């Protein structure tokens, strides 16, 4: 919704927004755009007399401002529908869907198109280091959008992405998530098929070769499909930092870049394939990727203190946790990794994927879990991991335990899809204080 606000401002509208507990980097970005942020959902905000209320899916019935809007019959619309009607109409939309990797792949694709001189607009669910904002409106016909399968609004239970009408569609992967709104994987596959039905015959679908997406396409498809990760389609071979890209047996390009992990190699493959559909040669894409400097909250180094490096990552699903840890392990070799986990997404809080968590943390040497607000017993789930795992009900003692356990040369990986009480800075402050007390260097 912060990105929607930024696009509305760029389109010439006066914009204000309200939410609870807005945190960086989006809060910083909105203030730079001079978009007023109002804490909470008070009915008094009706005094602003806006022409239209654009509603995000965090808002539900019972929200005091929403109830006042309904009572007075004031005009409102969902964020995705507003985008479709005011921003995406007449654009060549390149949409990136999938359970994992949407933000990174969207940023990679937007960056490639930008380097190629196509000046795309975009709406991405994170802030790339190469762009100052997560959303941009340009006069280019191209627009890259992160296409989320979560429902649109309390009054529109379709997935957000059905509004976007892409011409180029990436289906990066598909597995069970969002247990708060989907009963099972089949229910999510149905929503993905609804998306597939909106892609025109002249469009292109780039789909990862996995059973769930094969089932989605098999339900009916009227658009050419290029498979990702298939021997007769797009595939990559080599180290994730230096790999070849082939389409069938034909070498397209070689990529040498700075991102970590097999998952990012797959993200790059999808971005290269989608950019080709928009007219960008794979070699140009590879040159752009070599200059890509990453995304905030994706293995982002937050600081080093007393010889300990602290990272921030958005990983909040067992598959993403395993991929992130695997990428970091490849980078740091045998050095110790301390994983700090905040399972705060609705799916994780409900416990739908809790049994997969211990295996996803295999690459960590120590695990610290924040258990506040969970509907399941984290101590029981992690009991089999023994002394390598500690569970805490509050952030302060958790941060203190990480500081007490960390040794020079360690890597602390914080994983959460929220602000996590700014635990990164708490850990760094604790490490600096420890170094100062010992007469050492705080880094």
Residues 6 or more apart whose CB falls under 8 angstroms from that of 148 comprise 97, 102, 125, 159, 160, 161
pLDDT in tens, 331-350: 899 999 999 999 887 777 88
Work out the number of other CB atoms within 10 angstroms of the CB of residue 24: 13
* Paired residues of 146 in beta bridges: 96
Separation between Cα atoms, residue 57 and residue 413, nearest integer Å: 29
Let me know if domain 300-437 sits in CATH 3.10.180.10: no
**What is the chain's alpha carbon radius of gyration, rounded to the nearest angstrom?**
22
Neighbours of 437 (CB within 10 A): 8
Query: Which CATH architecture best describes the domain 88-289?
Result: 3-Layer(aba) Sandwich (3.40)
Token representation of residue 100: 């994992």
Q: At what angle do helices 282-289 and 262-277 cross, to 10 degrees?
A: 140
- In tens, the pLDDT along 118-170 reads 999 999 987 777 787 889 999 999 999 999 998 999 999 999 999 999 999 99
Residue 189 in this model has a pLDDT that exceeds 70:
yes
**Residue 345: what pLDDT?**
79
* Whether pLDDT at 443 is above 60: no
CA–CA distance, 324 with 243 (Å, rounded to integer): 19
* pLDDT for 329: 92
Domain boundaries, the chain: 2-80, 88-289, 300-437
- Fold classified for 2-80: Rossmann fold (3.40.50)
Higher pLDDT, 123 or 25: 123
Give me the residues paired with residue 204 across strands.
168
Burial 171-180 (b: 16+ CB within 10 A, else e): bbbbebbbbe
326-361 CB burial, b ≥16 within 10 A, e <16: bbbbeebeeebbbbbbbbbbebbbebbbbeebbebb
CA dihedral 295, 296, 298, 301 (to 10 degrees): 120
CA 50 to CA 13: how far, in whole Å?
10
């Amino acid at each position: 919704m912060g990105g929607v606000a930024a696009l509305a401002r760029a389109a010439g509208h006066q914009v204000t927004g309200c939410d609870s507990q807005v945190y960086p980097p989006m809060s910083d970005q909105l203030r730079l755009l001079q978009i007023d942020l109002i804490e909470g959902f008070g009915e008094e905000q009706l005094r602003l007399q806006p022409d239209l209320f654009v509603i995000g899916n965090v808002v539900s019935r019972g929200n005091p401002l929403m109830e006042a809007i309904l009572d007075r019959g004031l005009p409102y619309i969902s964020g995705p529908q507003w985008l479709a009607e005011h921003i995406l109409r007449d654009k060549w939309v390149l949409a990136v869907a999938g359970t994992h990797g949407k933000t990174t792949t969207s940023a990679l694709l937007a960056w490639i198109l930008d380097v190629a001189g196509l000046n795309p607009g975009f709406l991405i669910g994170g802030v790339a280091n190469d762009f100052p904002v997560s959303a941009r409106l340009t006069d280019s016909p191209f627009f890259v959008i992160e296409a989320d399968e979560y429902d649109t609004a309390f009054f529109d239970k379709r997935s957000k992405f059905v509004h976007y009408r892409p011409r180029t569609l990436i289906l990066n992967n598909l597995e069970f998530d969002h247990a708060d709104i989907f009963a099972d994987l089949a229910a999510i596959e149905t929503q993905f098929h609804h998306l597939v039905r909106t892609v025109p015959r002249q469009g292109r679908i780039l789909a990862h070769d996995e059973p769930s997406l094969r089932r989605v396409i098999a339900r009916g498809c009227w658009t050419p499909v290029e498979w990702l990760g298939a021997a007769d389609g797009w595939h990559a071979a080599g180290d994730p930092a230096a790999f070849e890209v082939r389409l069938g047996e034909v070498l397209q390009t070689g990529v040498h870049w700075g991102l970590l992990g097999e998952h990012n190699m797959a993200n790059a493959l999808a971005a290269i394939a989608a950019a080709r559909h928009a007219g960008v040669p794979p070699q140009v894409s590879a040159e752009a990727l070599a200059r890509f400097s990453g995304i905030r909250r994706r293995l982002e180094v937050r600081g080093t203190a007393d010889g300990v490096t602290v990272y921030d990552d958005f990983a909040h699903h067992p598959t993403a946790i395993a991929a992130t840890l695997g990428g970091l392990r490849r980078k740091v070799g045998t050095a110790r990794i301390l994983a700090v986990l905040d399972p705060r997404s609705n799916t994780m809080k409900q416990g739908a994927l809790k049994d997969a968590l211990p295996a996803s943390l295999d690459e960590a040497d120590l695990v610290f879990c924040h258990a506040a607000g969970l509907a399941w017993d984290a101590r029981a789930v992690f009991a089999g991991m023994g002394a390598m795992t500690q569970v805490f009900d509050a952030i302060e003692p958790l941060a203190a335990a990480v500081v007490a356990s960390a040794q020079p040369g360690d890597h602390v990986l914080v994983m959460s899809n929220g602000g996590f009480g700014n635990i990164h800075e708490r850990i760094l402050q604790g490490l600096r204080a420890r170094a100062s007390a010992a007469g050492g260097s705080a880094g």
